[in-house]
Structure 1
């Protein structure tokens, strides 16, 4: 038990107190990205492979901040001549040595997501022709659309959605029928949902009228 407590404390999941322990709660309900990297990893890897198949050599793409888009970045090694625009520091580090052009959004660095959120005076990508954007979220449902915890992340995503020709939502099935703090968009502002294969038929029937699913 003592070893387990030490391991949990080292992973910053608990706080040791006199006579006991306390579970650390995430601020605003949002988890640290490091803690999410291994959560539903098989589903995220499945989504990443599907997303990589949608990307063609020479594409200009946007990869959002998130653990799922980091898995997409890992699948771009054999693509050629991509222009990758991102606000994710882990995505930047992953793609720097893949031979692609990597463009970072300037702005405020968020420690929890290791991401950069942009403000209008720093965002000057209007001349870029983004062909495909891959957007993350914390929850999505047919009733409430696509939602997330951070207003700053949402503002960046909404701007990208306006600029991109094809908008993909990359979200695993654990986020279905979940609604959190801030709305990113409705399904009609997206083109394609890339999800894992654990969506049941009833959920697919509800969503298929809203968005194309792969």
Structure 2
């Protein structure tokens, strides 16, 4: 097992149990205490867990600036974005959400023919300037922390859009509370996009699963597929698929991030 894969699994385990002894981790992952200490040191530096004598505890995340999150779990995000882009056909009209995972899609769309991208993400729009892709950015209020646009019907006529496929981000994904986000305004915009799109995909790395944040966007049964990475634990995969949720699990290709 690669170090990055083991560290993601350790993070998933600590998130699930909240507080874990180091010796428990050595037994669970069948590695030496020295290896676990190195993994824990890395995760602690990334402020994903907190160390204490003999153990660790999970740090509940809060939403940070998009620029600060761009390089978090980058291999996973790029792999998910590449899988999302592979679902896009020439001539389609798609929605790309504001988020660090969907943002990575732009590099894989440039060879598409007669593609229209609707987005509320300023970085996505800027990346596609000069390409042969038609870009429509929704009108509304700029959310500075996310470099995104949030909108309501009185600001933008969503009913005029004909979206084949929507690629939505999430801060939390669970069976009980569905897809959730930190921002009410972002959630409202996503709800509107989901309601008018023919097919809805959620792009969420494995760290977002079994977690609920402030605002529900929609139940999981309102999306067609969730695309995530290989570090998602098997019991979580089974938990979701047993409830009829379609998952697409992708492997990380480090070369794509260089």
Aligned 1:100-115 pairs, distance under 5 A: 100-115=133-148
Q: 1:194 aligns with which of 183, 202, 227?
A: 227
- Separation (CA, whole Å) in 2 of partners of 1:120 and 1:129: 15
- Separation (CA, whole Å) in 1 of partners of 2:244 and 2:121: 28
Q: Is the 8 A contact 2:174 2:211 kept in 1?
A: yes
- Separation (CA, whole Å) in 1 of partners of 2:245 and 2:200: 11
CA shift, 1:55, in A, is: 0.4
Q: 1:125 aligns with which of 131, 145, 158?
A: 158
- Separation (CA, whole Å) in 2 of partners of 1:107 and 1:32: 20
- The yes-or-no answer on 1:71 pairing with 2:84 is no
- The yes-or-no answer on 1:49 pairing with 2:82 is yes
CA shift, 1:29, in A, is: 2.7
2:43 counterpart residue number: none
Q: Is the 8 A contact 1:89 1:114 kept in 2?
A: yes
In angstroms, what is the RMSD of aligned CA positions? Answer: 1.2
Query: How high is the TM-score relative to the length of structure 1?
Result: 0.85
1:99 counterpart residue number: 132
Unmatched 5+ stretches in structure 1: 1-27
1:138 counterpart residue number: 171
2:208 counterpart residue number: 175
Unmatched 5+ stretches in structure 2: 1-60, 249-258
Q: 1:160 aligns with which of 193, 200, 211?
A: 193
Query: How high is the TM-score relative to the length of structure 2?
Result: 0.71
Structure ID, larger Rg: 2
- The yes-or-no answer on 1:213 pairing with 2:250 is no
Q: Summarize the Cα distance change of 1:187–1:161 in structure 2 as closer, same or farther, 3 Å threshold.
A: same
Cα-to-partner distance string for 1:146-167 (whole Å, 9 max, x where unaligned) = 1100000000000000000000
Cα-to-partner distance string for 1:48-102 (whole Å, 9 max, x where unaligned) = 1110110011110000000111101221111111110000000001112221110
Q: Which deviates more from structure 2 when the two are superposed, residues 53-62 or residues 122-131? A: 122-131
- Separation (CA, whole Å) in 1 of partners of 2:195 and 2:135: 20
Q: Is the 8 A contact 1:169 1:192 kept in 2?
A: yes
1:23 counterpart residue number: none
- The yes-or-no answer on 1:82 pairing with 2:96 is no
Q: Is the 8 A contact 2:200 2:223 kept in 1?
A: yes
2:101 alignment partner, SS class: helix
Aligned residues between the structures:
187
2:167 alignment partner, SS class: strand
Task: List 4+ stretches of structure 1 deviating above 3 A.
Answer: none
2:229 alignment partner, SS class: coil
